[in-house]
Structure 1
Amino acid sequence: MRILTILAVVLCSTSVFSQQQQETPPPNFIRSITFQGDAKVSGNPIIRIEESLLLEFDDIIGDEADYYYTIEHFNFDWTPSQLNKSEYLDGFDEVRITDFENSYNTLQAYTHYKLSFPNKDTKGFKVSGNYLLKVFNTAKEIIFSRKFMVYQPIAQVAVTIKRSRDLSFINKKQVVNFTVNSPELLLKNPATTVKTLILKNNNLKTAISQVPPQYTIGNELIFKYDKETSFWAGNEYLQFDSKDVRAPTINISRIELLDLYHHYLFTDTSRDTEPYRYNPDINGQFIVRTLQGENSAIESEYIWTHFTLQNFDPLNGGQLHLYGAFNNFEINDTTLMTYNTHTGLYENAMLLKQGFYNYSYVLVKKDGTLNEGFISGNFDKTENKYQVLIYYRDLGARYDQIIGFGEASSINITN
């Protein structure tokens, strides 16, 4: 009996430690998180091993709280790797974030924090792969975490975007084809040692993974799937610009000043049945900026931004949510569009920092899956950016390294 008990504990411990790591979303008092590499794209950065990272966020309690950070290494499937910290990190972590400033001349007080890598404590990364940055408080409670990927350009990745070969989706889907050329590293048994990750607009939550190569020509791996690497094309993101807190600009209909500024956006409507219109966007991203100060990080106001949506299509038990990089493409209670029986509109108000924002509306179906085109529609002409990461674990290796990265835009989509 004692042996069985010990065995059960060991099995439970193994199950816990092998679980896939999920990101921890921030609490309501942590706002405007930007996490980016040299490419200046926020969300889940993809950087070369020698490039830098920058994390910024606000605490709207504004009491100069102490925050610390740790960095952990993971396998391709986001289970913990077998590496010790000294094997993947040059320097050390569990260090307090010391670069912070209080807001200046704003109605909403907040403390702005900034953390950059490399720094005097964390000097860099020794190996490529998946990483997780955790921010926690003095009580060792995790406040939020963000995933990022570090790669070494050992293999060359060429990416092209095609229309679907299925005539039912030729005007609605975009297909990612790519090749991997590795002249300096022999990829042994690529069907099992090579793994792939395909992202649309740097959104890790809708990524396609573990697509094996179709065939090999010398040192080149060919991935020319149709269905397996296809994405719904979506539509250009909606946008607004609140850089001028006192005057309506892009998509802002009126402004009120109560305890804070309130910006009311023009009512959005379904675009699913409308013809496609090209409207340049920043692929769901946001940029903090203000005309009322010189330092946007600490002089930008926080504004209650009011969204309204007119929709007549039945939801069939689903829910409509706001969607974008402003909260790392998370779906939660703060993004829910609530139906107002008096106005006949779906409404939401979010506290957002001044800036230029991309956003869209998505349907969360009854089974929990997303339908990104329910309101916006899907059009093959939509400009999206796709990223492809190539992972490799040689026989007997202890971790998954990222040996290649490629990206392409659908602006030049072909049949």
Structure 2
Amino acid sequence: MKYSYLFLLCASLTACTPISQSSSNSTGNTKVLRLLDFAYEPQIKTIQLGPTGAPAAPAVTALGQWNLLLQFDDLRPERDTYYVKFVHCNHDWTKSDLQDLDFLETYNEFPINNSEFSVDTHIPFVHYWVGLPGVKIPGNYVAVVYRGSDKGDIVLSKRFMVFDSQVSFTSNGNLLGPGTVANLNQQLNFSISYQNLDINNPLIDVHVNIRQNQRWDNMASDIKPSFVHDIEKELEYRFFDESKMFRGGNEFRFFDLRSLNYPGRNVAYVDKKQKPFDAFVAKDKSRNGESYAQYNDLDGGYNIDNLDYNKELAYSNYVNVNFSLSSPPVSGDVYVTGAFNYWNLNQENKMHYDSAKSQYSARVLLKQGWYDYQYLVKSSTLPPYYFEGSHFETENYYEILVYYRPFQPRADLLIGYIRLDKNPR
């Protein structure tokens, strides 16, 4: 299928306003669809969407390659009936004007037929999974899972992207030169060539977004080219100011909770007095002002795994994971975050200050596995990375997404996608 469009995909969390329509579910509670990664009920946990066999990888696929698998846990002992539907979105993750049949061959309702009961776990749960069906056009999509025949009884929403390569990239991932800002930041310089497309006004019709480590909260959205070369059909992106740069951040903190019998790295101990168990991550301290230390991480992700039962995930327990950060109180709210909570800053992962222990603490229910995490500050006076520090040497990966809105269909289509590794090991 050939299109006349070019675009870069990325969406900002702040641009993702809830859809105005809402409906009541079978219990009478009103749920409003949010076009972002979100769980609408507390018992819906461990939502993953990625290529089959690689659930932690980006939820991105090429048009015609239907390899995305959606899976989640329902922390209840009974099996339920779930369906998934799709919402097509523009480059900014607002709902597009397309009708369902514009991007699907069939009715927009797909049953989730695969499920598995947990075995001898402290909290019984049912694990569900479904391979996502194909779509007809590229772009941003949100998979929406709802219970039974009530489409208003939403339990989760998860973003994914489908691209159709119509452009080519040249990249130069130069770090900035020496200086105070350069020691914190990372910069990507690149060009986009659209030789096979007729784009009359690329400054208006082309949108480029850049995402760091699959994060939506710090995505650079709707970036405009520094230079437009009409004759060469090339858009050049060269960033000369700090507003178009990413903080390098730091390598992520991590802990290994794959075993409850033999606590792994950075797990101080596991308290088994009551079920579910409590695992205590080794006490952390601020890394602000420390020199950069190189080590491998999952770039903020996590892997579900179980070493106690030979990797049989049906036996994997949910555990109350206790975090502690030694620090005097700071101006603002402190959160422990990562891919495990979709990078959201909410009450579940907000830390509370214990003046008697001079530390921030949080308790989060997580499934056995290996987790990356970090501490972020929400403050009017402190940077988000206050406790982590920021270094240009940090290994990160970036996704460049290119969107183009042709005359028909009048929707933003994802016509370019590339992943670039910064400081690869």
Output the TM-score relative to the length of structure 1: 0.88
Deviation at 1:21, TM superposition (A): 5.6
Aligned to 2:237: 223
Q: Where in structure 2 are the equivalents of 1:308-323 lying within 5 Å?
A: 308-312=324-328, 314-316=329-331, 318-323=332-337
Counterparts of 1:60-209 in structure 2, within 5 Å, are 60-118=75-133, 124-138=134-148, 139=150, 140-164=152-176, 167-209=179-221
User: 2:422 aligns to what?
Assistant: 410
Distance 2:209 2:51 in 1: 19
- The answer to whether residue 353 in structure 2 is matched with residue 343 in structure 1 is no
TM-superposed CA distance for 1:38, in Å, is: 5.6
Question: What amino acid is the match of 1:22?
Answer: L
List structure 1 runs of 4+ shifted beyond 6 angstroms: none
Q: Judging by fraction of residues, say which structure has more helix.
A: 1
| Partners of 1:167 and 1:114 in 2: CA distance | 49
Residue 325 of structure 1 aligns with an amino acid whose one-letter code is A
Query: Over aligned residue pairs, what C-alpha RMSD do you find?
Result: 2.3
Q: List per-residue Cα deviations over 1:136-157 (Å, max 9, x = no partner).
A: 1234311121111111011112
The residue aligned with 2:393 is: 381
Contact 1:252 1:263 in 2 (8 A): yes
Corresponding residue of 1:278: 294
Aligned to 2:4: none
Q: Where does residue 316 of structure 2 map in the other structure?
A: 300
- Report the CA distance between 1:162 and its aligned residue: 2.7
List alignment gaps of at least 5 residues for structure 2: 1-18, 22-31
CA contact (8 A) 2:55 2:69 kept: no
Does structure 2 conserve the Cα–Cα contact (< 8 Å) formed by 1:46 and 1:151? Answer: yes
Who is 1:249 aligned against?
Answer: 264
> 62, 69, 74: which is aligned to 1:59?
74
Aligned residue in 1 for 2:35: 22
Note closer, same or farther for the CA distance 1:200–1:286 as it changes in structure 2 (3 Å cut).
Answer: same
Which stretch of the first structure deviates more once superposed, 154-163 or 83-92? 154-163
Does 2:377 correspond to 1:363? Answer: yes
Q: Secondary structure at the match of 1:307?
A: strand
Unaligned segments of structure 1, at least 5 residues: 1-14, 119-123
Tell me if the contact between 1:41 and 1:285 (Cα under 8 Å) persists in the aligned partners: no
Q: What is the letter of the counterpart of residue 147 of structure 2?
A: N
Higher RCO (Cα < 8 Å, 6 or more apart): 2
TM-score calculated relative to the size of structure 2? 0.86
| Deviation readout 1:78-134 (Å, 9 max, x if unpaired) | 22222221110133332331111110122221000001123xxxxx11000111111
1: CA distance between counterparts of 2:220 and 2:296?
Answer: 25
Match for 1:197: what amino acid? N
Amino acid at match of 2:146: F
SS of structure 1 residue aligned to 2:219: strand
- Contact 1:152–1:402 (CA<8 Å) still a contact in 2? yes
**Equivalent residue, structure 2, for 1:261:** 277
Aligned-residue offset at 1:20 = 11
Q: Which amino acid aligns with 1:191?
A: L
* Amino acid in the other structure paired with 1:288: I
Structure 1 Cα separation of the partners of residues 160 and 396 of structure 2? 20
Pairwise CA distance, 1:24: 6.1
Cα distance between partner residues in 1 of 2:188 and 2:253: 24
**Residues 1:234 and 2:244 are matched in the alignment:** no
Residue 334 of structure 1, CA deviation: 0.8
Counterparts of 1:295 and 1:112, CA distance in 2: 15
Number of positions where the alignment pairs a residue of Structure 1 with one of Structure 2: 389
Question: Distance in 1 between the 2:226 and 2:364 partners?
Answer: 45
